[in-house]
Structure 1
Amino acid sequence: MVFGQVVVGPPGSGKTTYCNGMSQFLNLIGRKVAVINLDPANDSLPYECAVNIEDIVKLSDVMVEHSLGPNGGLVYCMDYLEKNIDWLQAKLEPLLKDHYLLFDFPGQVELFFLHSNAKNVIMKLIKNLNLRLTAVHLIDAHLCSDPGKYISALLLSLSTMLHLELPHINVLSKIDLIESYGRLAFNLDFYTDVQDLSYIQRHLDQDPRAAKYRKLTKELCQVVEDFSLVNFTTLDIQDKESVGNLVKLIDKSNGYIFAGIDASAVEFSKIAVGPVDWDYYRVAAVQEKYMKNDENIDYDG
């Protein structure tokens, strides 16, 4: 059994930085890590990748050859990868004995809730190579400072979860910059636990530009609440405690902590099988570290 992560999220959410930081952290705790770059537009990688999609297809070449824009070019590249899945499997096979895999995917969100090519690639790898993968969906934390953007992030996260059909963890990345675009209206646990969205509807209704979309906003919030699937953990990729907490969640999600792959995995599992990591006190500690609490509004009254 081979374990790993499928790293997805919108452009700018920090996927490549995440893969770089996560690979360094996993190496430090004794895991051999292989990073697989499946973004044909990512030509300045900060990490050493074991497999690079640019060896068979590059977005710039596709755009010139087929007169496509960036979005159409990325769809073409994913279609091309799906049709050449044997190439990817052959590249991965030498890594299956003792490596933990990180798949760095493109940032075009349509690939993960609309088109089937990226999902088909993942499912074929899971079936043919006996992989256990968790989707790590990164969302830039500063989106919480804008109610409309936060609702959009919720819908994107929900759509991606339903489309990929993988064990899934949503992450508010760059948590250290969460208030870089303004103070949050509510405490951090409101955004991580996705609590009663009627509060954020009322907050959004105060914006005259959003008034004519009031009914639509209400219905979209209702969709998120009806599924009751979306919540978030937080991440500062430069903070080892923050990365460690996320690794524990991922290990629980894909079953790594129960596999007993090697001594390091067993040792780390002793930490990982502790109390649930979604508790109030951990979120409160993150808020105290990164947010100016005195000016946040407590939605509980």
Structure 2
Amino acid sequence: MAINLNALREGPFESCFRTNCVHALSLLVFTRLRVDIWAFGTGQQYTAHQSTVVKLGNCIEGVTMVQSKFGNGGRMVPVLYYAPQSPPCRSVLMLARRIGLHLELKLMNEEELTAPAFLALNPQHTVPTLDDRGLVLSESRVILSYLASAYGNEADLYPRDYCARAVVDQRLQFDLGTFYQRVVDYFWPTLLFGASLEPMKKAKLEEALGWFESMLKYYQWAAGNHFTIADISLCVSVSQIDAFEFDLGAFPRVCAWFAKCKKELMPFGYEEINQAGANTLAGMFRANSKQ
């Protein structure tokens, strides 16, 4: 089954296309049969599978709407529910930039996170949450692994070799369960509630940094001699404590690695995505620490 939107340009539909609208179509239902849409004026083909429904507004919606729903080689565009200041969200956004993946971004606030529709997607009501054609994933490091596998074309970013991939996975889990957790434990009570910083929690964070310093003794990057998604995740975590003005001077390998990561990620939104978000949280932290 194929719909050639170029054919509709002629005859009675010509005026519709002048306004980039298709008045004749109020609803396109793509059944389980393959449907190919040749978008007007683009020469590009977009493909839908299964039971996808694209609604063309109140009988009027531009072909640009169809184009916006299909990308990434004909696949539906993944939807990312996010908050720009969130460190885990920032890592996903930078990876998407690096692999050239277009995401439909849904900015979430506190009220929307607990709305029934979002709770149906993610009962934990956390961001980032990814919805890729019905596959719903939370936890940023899982999302990084999935996107690098499904959409990435860099062999080293998330290696297929099971030994190399295991090291990347270990570093991601180290970030999730140890390093970033200790960042949250130390800074977030002040950031959210204005509580005093606790020296014991600072010592635990320094311990985690020491472990990371030792890991960097053997590799050029966090998980090997190539840049991987583990570097993205850990870089965001380190960038946040750097924005909080935590002293990294006792960890020279971490400092050198961090400088390399910033340079590596600069073309992929490091300043606008990551540094801007880190600065936002740092401003909140400084404001609450003075209370």
Q: TM-score range by the shorter chain?
A: under 0.3
TM-score, length-scaled by structure 2: 0.28
